[in-house]
A and B are shown apart, each in its own frame.
Chain A
Amino acid sequence: MNSLKKIFDRDTWDEIFESISKNRTRTIITSIGVFWGIFIYIALAGSAKGLENGFDEAFSGLSKNSMGIWVQSTSMPYKGFEEGRFPIFELSDVEYLTDRVPEIQYISPGLQAGAFSGSPPLVVRGLKSDNFNLFGNFPDQAKISVIKIYDGGRYINDQDIKYERKVAVIGEGAQERLFDLDEDPIGKYIRINDINFKVIGVEKYSEGDGFGTDSDITIPYSTFAKIYNRGDKFGFMFISGYDYVNPNYLEETIKENLKVRKIIHPEDDKAFGSFNIGSLFESIIKFTRGMVFLSLVVGIATIFAGVIGIGNIMLIAVKERTNELGIRRALGATPGEIKVQIVLESVFLTIIAGIIGIIVGAFLLFLINIGTSGLEDFPFANPTVPLAIVSGAFITMITLGTLIGLIPAERAVSIKPIEALREE
């Protein structure tokens, strides 16, 4: 009990601080192991986090549990229907789905010409012309997939749908091919299938976004339906679930409901085609999680090695200090006091070395962050180490420092003072 009280005694710490500061070489050599361990750990964990953030940023805006589904043809006869039927979607199916699948957050039916079927329409702008894939979308599409509109423009809105406006959002590739380099396309007109459309926005191309290209042209769904005379029929839609929804579950549930709605054999897997971003994401998340785990294992192992190094050098130090410890005991130090001193020295060194390691590691992450902040193609952002992991490492360090300190401490008091004093 008396020994425990010593831990909070200022004199004890003065004594420890003195012994540490006056044996500088020993202190530095001892600390390097732990410093290195925690430094590597922080740098690794931070980098893994940075990579995770980088991927997050690269996919930002894309609803992580979004999916696409499209009509194919049935492969099984069912309830009097023959196989090979094309179960085209209708707008009433959208309501049917939202009524039955509460997990749906957004649902956006889409029309297209040129991407999967039909031919890409000819688009003319002055003397320039080319064929582009044309899409008819709802505003909600922007909430499901990444649609970044360059400054000054906008995406399709509800009014465009309501009034069947002839407005178009063009891909940056389309802009290049239809407009001059220094020309602002916003507000200018392009002719799609001989109908004038006003350009309202230029879409920034981002990879991994559904099945688009950089040169797609998007017009309001209602306008598209009217021009192409689609009525309320459509061939594909994008759906996103709320954050808590498992994307695989969402995909399955939607398909099951649509099979009931469209009278399709429950085991017919060919009737609809679909994909979900979630599974793509999962592999990336698994990768970054793997990185985090790896950094955890490597970091802890390095810290472990570092602390063992401290224990090792403390053992040598105890041997070196046998005489000193003998003197202290002759002067009245109890074995408990000697033990507390050795253990505290070990813990103190571990903590100080650890703090320096954390600071230097954080500084390195800071430098990496500055160095990579300009790089668009490099998925790395804001490398941080969660406080929980830092404190975890800290607790590990203190625990290991104490345990390892007990070995030399025990050794120090196992030598009789009389023998210790004889040692020169």
Chain B
Amino acid sequence: MIEIKNLHKSYEIGASSLHVLKGIDFSVEDGDLVAIMGSSGSGKSTLLNILGMLDTSDTGTYDLDKIRIADMDEKKAANYRNKFLGFVFQSFNLINYKNALENVALPLYYQGVSRKERQKTALTYLDKVGLKDWADHLPSELSGGQKQRVAIARALASNPKVLLADEPTGALDSTTSIEVMALIQKINNEGKTILVVTHEQDIAKMCKRVVHLKDGIIVEDKKIKQNVIKNV
């Protein structure tokens, strides 16, 4: 699904440059649930942003579902993001003046799906995350866990190939975190490829594979026995 070879990325900070990613080789199989771990400054967020086409690499190749992601203008990148990727952010990033249903329907709007179809699909996904009854609530009327579930529903709404989650539980308490991770596991079990950036061991253990980043290189990449959450 994802194939990365010799990826480099550095940021210009004033006169000096900061080498963040120093040659990443990395691939993800279809249906995998990968945790990307590392301390802050290890480059994990940068990697996720490049994977999410929100940022570009300096050198190296990136293939997503056998499509070479390179030299794309903003418009093309936007279309690819819309079609292939779903994002879940630490701070939820819901649009605060849109209700849950409208938030979930937004990626479909950018796909050009008709209004009726959008509403229907969005409601299906809201139902999937257990928030069908909260469809017409604004984000300010939802709890943190509910917001993240809406964000997950939104990420899924466009039926992307890969779900990218950046610290999805970072702003949640442990109980809610487990709820959200349970949802992620459920979605993964249905066949969706998911990448989770986290710095929490507990969260990483709920994935099928853990990749450790340190100072811009992968120091460890192993399959683990997944800690499956039951009965939440």
Contacts and interface: CB of A to CB of B under 8 A. Distances in A.
A329 B97 contact: no
Interface in A11-29: 11, 14-15, 18-19, 22-23
Interface stretch (B72-80, B173-181, B196-204): B72-80
Contact of A335 (B78, B81, B89): B78
Contacts of B75: 334-336
A388 to B, nearest CB: 39
Contact of A421 (B54, B94, B109): B54
A335 B111 CA distance: 14
Contacts of A332: 78-79, 81-83, 107, 110-111, 158
A328 B93 CA distance: 10
Contacts of B19: none
A416 B74 CA distance: 9
Interface residues of A, number: 28
A211 to B, nearest CB: 74
Chain A residues touching B, majority SS: helix
A83 interface: no
Interface string B89-101: 1010111111000
B42 interface: no
Interface in B131-179: 154, 158
Given A11-B109, A14-B115, A18-B98, A334 B93 contact: no
B89 A421 contact: yes
Contacts of B213: none
A200 B96 CA distance: 83
Interface residues of B, number: 29
B33 to A, nearest CB: 21
B97 A331 contact: no
Q: Which of A23, A324, A336, A418 has the most CB of B within 10 A?
A: A418
A146 to B, nearest CB: 65
Contacts of A324: 95-96
A334 B78 contact: yes
B74 A413 contact: yes
Contacts of A23: 97
Contacts of A424: 91
B61 interface: no
Contacts of A19: 97
B166 to A, nearest CB: 9
Contact of A330 (B54, B97, B115): B54
A420 to B, nearest CB: 9
Interface string A314-351: 00000000011011111111111100000000000000
19 contacts: A323-B93, A324-B96, A327-B93, A327-B95, A328-B95, A331-B81, A331-B87, A331-B106, A331-B158, A332-B78, A332-B79, A332-B82, A332-B158, A333-B110, A334-B110, A335-B75, A337-B110, A416-B55, A421-B54
Interface of B: 49, 52, 54-55, 74-75, 78-79, 81-83, 87, 89, 91, 93-98, 102, 106-107, 109-111, 115, 154, 158
Given A18-B102, A332-B82, A335-B75, 19 more contacts: A10-B115, A11-B115, A19-B97, A23-B97, A324-B95, A326-B93, A327-B94, A328-B106, A331-B158, A332-B79, A332-B81, A332-B107, A334-B110, A337-B110, A413-B74, A416-B55, A417-B54, A418-B55, A421-B93
